Amino acid sequence: MEKPQSKRAAAAAAGAMWRELANVLQDVREAESRILAAISLLQATAAAIPPAAPRPDAPLPEAIDAWEASGAARGLTPRYLRQGRRHLAEAAEMMGWRTTSDVTARGIEEWLASRARNGATYNRLRGYWSAFLRWARATKRVNENVAEDVPKARELGGGHVTRAFSPAEAAAIIEYARRDGLNNPNPRRKARDRWLVYLTAWFTGLRRSELRSVKVRSLNLLSVPPRIQLEARSAKARRAETVPLHPELLEPLRNLAAGKGPDDLLFPHVRDEVVAEDIEAAGVPRMVDGRTSGMHSFRKGMATELARAGVVEGVAQALLRHSDPRLTRNVYTDSRLLPLADAVAGMQRLLTSEPGCEAGG
């Protein structure tokens, strides 16, 4: 028969074991609680971390196709989608873009500068890229809409965003066109005498349409002063205009008219793409501060040069044949090319002595 003392010892040992087991279980429960808290924290942290950006390398032709299909499903007009697709594909081909990641804001600007002749066209073409890239971003094909970094055209003077050429820029374009004309193997595409069209535009301010309408009989080099008589049907204001000629034009125009009949057109036609090629080849930027360079830049350059020379506003208005002097002053005169610093430096001094030279007290 087991002794009572032995039974008590066994019971004490069993109690100690159960207490130890209870402590272990408590530690397990506390560890489990800590593990669950850690898991919750990791889950919350992971939710706060933005997902990795998708690789923006979708093939551009496929993306344009998908954009067109998506637009049709959303009810966009077939004409808008057809034109948008054509312009997007044209830009991609011209700029050498193969994937959506190739498209850049600077590239869009360069393409717009080569295609847009006025503010309305510029903004419409920009809108195609903005719409496409907005859709591409929403569908994870690009990380950002770079078209948002391309400024909209400032629609001045009825939508024109053409800038003024400086004298150095105009001279560079004219000289390049003159040299290129001497060696041009394709005069039907690039007229050999187009440099004289540019020079006449600079010194007369004649618009492109007006230059194209001038006939040999309109040229009077023997009058005082020598002039071009612009017919009413050819002038923008629909009234006859007398345009005085700069001395530098006289001999070249005399040579150009030689051998032509009185009703023959005096100047060759110069296409937009040829003007753009001449500008680029002469090293003149096609886009400056959101303004494009083009044929109209010669006319605006003349207006700015008249302002630089201090010509009275009314005289400049008459030479440019504007109905409102505000158009001459606010739209055609490019203040960035005016000698503003020289004008300020020429103001009368007010102090009788140099600052800081006063006698000390």
If asked whether residues 175 and 145 sit together in one domain, one would say no
If asked whether residues 77 and 185 sit together in one domain, one would say no
If asked whether residues 205 and 316 sit together in one domain, one would say yes
Spatial distance between the Cα atoms of 221 and 127, rounded to a whole number of angstroms: 49
If asked whether residues 121 and 243 sit together in one domain, one would say no
Of 103, 119, 149, the last residue of a domain is: 149
If asked whether residues 184 and 234 sit together in one domain, one would say yes
Residue 124 structural domain: 60-149
Q: What is the dihedral of CA 115, 116, 122, 124, to 10 degrees?
A: -70
What pLDDT does 361 receive? 46
In the numeric block, which tokens belong to residue 129? 């890229």
Confidence class of residue 159 from pLDDT cuts 50, 70 and 90?
very low
Does any domain span residue 184? yes
pLDDT digits (tens, 9 = 90+) for 22-63: 777 777 777 777 787 778 777 777 666 655 444 567 899 999
Does any domain span residue 223? yes
What pLDDT does 92 receive? 92
Of 120, 149, 178, the last residue of a domain is: 149
Spatial distance between the Cα atoms of 117 and 110, rounded to a whole number of angstroms: 13
What pLDDT does 155 receive? 43
Q: Would you call 230 helix, strand, or coil by DSSP?
A: strand
CATH code where residue 253 lies:
1.10.443.10
With a pLDDT cut of 90, the percent of the chain lying above it is 34
What pLDDT does 70 receive? 94
If asked whether residues 208 and 300 sit together in one domain, one would say yes
Taking residues 88-104, what's their average pLDDT?
91
Taking residues 126-137, what's their average pLDDT?
93
Taking residues 74-101, what's their average pLDDT?
92
Does any domain span residue 266? yes
Confidence class of residue 183 from pLDDT cuts 50, 70 and 90?
confident
Cα 108 off chain centre by = 7
CATH code where residue 110 lies:
1.10.150.130
With a pLDDT cut of 70, the percent of the chain lying above it is 80
If asked whether residues 218 and 331 sit together in one domain, one would say yes
Lowest-pLDDT choice from 23-37, 88-102, 161-175, 334-348? 334-348
If asked whether residues 172 and 125 sit together in one domain, one would say no
Lowest-pLDDT choice from 102-111, 155-164, 178-187? 155-164
If asked whether residues 101 and 221 sit together in one domain, one would say no
Give the residues across from 228 on adjacent strands: 219, 243
What pLDDT does 25 receive? 72
- What phi and psi values does residue 242 have, to the nearest 5 degrees? -105, 125
If asked whether residues 210 and 332 sit together in one domain, one would say yes
Taking residues 321-328, what's their average pLDDT?
74
Taking residues 231-238, what's their average pLDDT?
68
Maximum average pLDDT range among 147-151, 173-177, 211-215: 173-177
Residue that the structure tokens 């094909």 belong to: 141
In the numeric block, which tokens belong to residue 320? 């440019």
Confidence class of residue 90 from pLDDT cuts 50, 70 and 90?
very high
Does any domain span residue 289? yes
Does any domain span residue 185? yes
Q: Does pLDDT of 12 surpass 80?
A: no
Query: Does 358 or 202 have the greater pLDDT score?
Result: 202
Tally the domains of the chain. Answer: 2
What pLDDT does 173 receive? 95
Confidence class of residue 158 from pLDDT cuts 50, 70 and 90?
very low
If asked whether residues 239 and 309 sit together in one domain, one would say yes
What pLDDT does 258 receive? 93
Q: Would you call 243 helix, strand, or coil by DSSP?
A: strand
- What phi and psi values does residue 59 have, to the nearest 5 degrees? -60, 130
Q: Does pLDDT of 175 surpass 90?
A: yes
Does any domain span residue 117? yes
Query: Does 143 or 27 have the greater pLDDT score?
Result: 143
Averaged confidence pLDDT in the chain: 81
Of 97, 117, 149, the last residue of a domain is: 149
If asked whether residues 252 and 181 sit together in one domain, one would say yes
